Amino acid sequence: MSNGHLVKIKGARKNYGSLAALDGLSLTIEPGQFMVLLGPSGSGKSTLIRSLAGIEKIDSGSIFLDNQEVNRGPINVAPEKRNLAMVFQDYALWPHLSAFENVEYALQRRKLGKDASRKRVETALERVGLSTKGRNYPHELSGGEQQRVALARAIVADPALLLFDEPLSNLDADLRERLRIEISTLTREIGATALYITHDQSEAFALADKIGVINHGKLEQVDLPEEIYERPTNRFVANFTGIAGTFTGKVKRVSKTSCVVSLGEDQLKVRHTVGLEVGQGVDILIRPAATSFNRDSTNSLAATITDVAYRGRGYEHAIATKYGSLTGVFDTVSHPRGGRISVSIDPDRCIAFPTETK
């Protein structure tokens, strides 16, 4: 049984001058669920998380935590009364307090005895692997250690809602991956509801029970990670969750879930998620996983290798076709720059959307 908040946001709007940071956004997060909001800079994800924390106030709409309305009109429950914790992008560790004191601070609201409090802090620091660093001040810790202290501070009081504001964006790739695993396991251990915002799609897919893709203050799609990847409901979602390239063509034949698109001299079979008509102009968004150098495929195009990059487990190639370029075409062996090759396209992993009229 989860002890997390049920989070409901209904029609939230927030403007900064003429700019709408939140544009009637609605979202429900089930108790104990790990929700990741994925979106580009300026999409409104920070405003949303800060409104949930109570640091910002929405202009209209309402926010409920466990069916208690915490923000609507003049109602604005103070952040300290929302039973939540937050991990900040810049860590926000108080520089005048040691690591131990930073973590202990968040426990004050629980009003535990001195011994019980010390034990909880020690356990939290141990859980993030910093049991020997309690006496250190923030400036005496590395970036990764500082973020771990922030994580310990967030979990120590067993809050009902954990908010993560791009907590890994300031760390190097290796550390990011290790801390991502810690965040994932620790959050699920304490059973809190979690809302994590990021612009990094790999981070989102790795962490989330559910992903919400946000753009211009609106949710474009909320779904399971697999659904978001396999069945993006619109071009923005597909684009933002990773593509190797885009080709433009016309629909030649169409069935319920797939269609054949004429690119000129060549044709490609692809999937579609919205209704298409024969003759309609479409853009084909191709996932990196859709591409390979499989010579036997019938769904393929002639290409020239323009670049090759070694990635440890193999090679990623950039290629040029008559209809556009593709990146991230993987093979276990390297193909020389300038070489002619046939690139095959998996129809299930590329999606056609009607061409946007400008």
Partner 1 sequence: MTIFWMVIVSILVLPIILFLAVAFSPKLLDQGPEWFTFNSFKAAADPYFVRSIWHSFVMGVVSSILATAIALGVAWIVLRTNSAARKVWNLAIFALLLAPSYLIALGWERIFERAGVLNIAGIDLPFVRDLLYGPVGIAMILTFKGIPFAYLVISNAMRGLGEEFEQAVRVHGGSRIAAFKMMATLLLPALWSGIAIVFAESISDFGVASQLSSPGRYSVATFTLYKSVMSIPVSFPLCAAISIILLMLIVVALLAQSRALRGRSFRVLSGRTRPITRQKLSPLGSIASNVTIYVLLILTLGVPVFGAISASMIQGLGTVISNYQINFDNYIRVIKSPLLRTPLLFSAEAALMTATVAVILAAISSRMLVSTKNGPGKKFLDFFLLAAVGLPGIVFAIGYIFAYNLPLAQKYGFHLYGTVALLVLAYIATALPSTTRSLVGNMNQFQESLSEACRVHGSNGIKTWLTVVLPLISRPLLAAWCLTYCGTLLELPVSQILYPPGHAPLAVGIDHALGNYDFGGGTAMEVFAIISALIVVAIAFGLYEKLAPLGWKQLGRARS
Q: Which residues pair with 23 in a beta bridge?
A: 13
Tokens of 226: 């697999």
Which amino acid, 227?
A: E
98 binds partner 1 (CB under 8 A): yes
Q: Which parts of 26-55 interact with partner 1 (CB under 8 A)?
A: 50, 53-55
The secondary element (H helix, E strand) that includes residue 202 is helix 201-207
Among 1, 41, 67, 80, binds partner 1 (CB under 8 A): 80
**What backbone phi and psi angles, to 5 degrees, belong to 147?**
-65, -30
97 binds partner 1 (CB under 8 A): yes
Q: What is the DSSP string of 99-114?
A: HHHHHHHTTGGG---H
**What backbone phi and psi angles, to 5 degrees, belong to 130?**
-125, 35
Q: Which residue has the tokens 């853009």?
A: 283
Among 11, 24, 79, 354, binds partner 1 (CB under 8 A): 79
Stretch of residues binding partner 1 (CB under 8 A), selected from 100-108, 185-193, 327-335, 340-348:
100-108
Among 105, 205, 315, 330, binds partner 1 (CB under 8 A): 105
> Nearer Cβ to partner 1, position 97 or 320?
97
Among 92, 112, 175, 320, binds partner 1 (CB under 8 A): 92
137 binds partner 1 (CB under 8 A): yes
Local structure of 140: helix, strand or coil: helix
169 binds partner 1 (CB under 8 A): no
> Nearer Cβ to partner 1, position 105 or 315?
105
Calculate the CA dihedral of residues 154, 123, 120, 194 and round it to 10 degrees.
Answer: 30
If you ran DSSP here, which 8-state letter would residue 228 be given? H
Among 9, 35, 85, 194, binds partner 1 (CB under 8 A): 85
The answer to whether 48 and 25 are in contact (CB under 8 A) is yes
77 binds partner 1 (CB under 8 A): no
Residues that bind partner 1 (CB under 8 A): 50, 53-55, 78-80, 82, 84-86, 88-90, 92-98, 101, 105-106, 108-109, 137, 139, 153, 157, 163
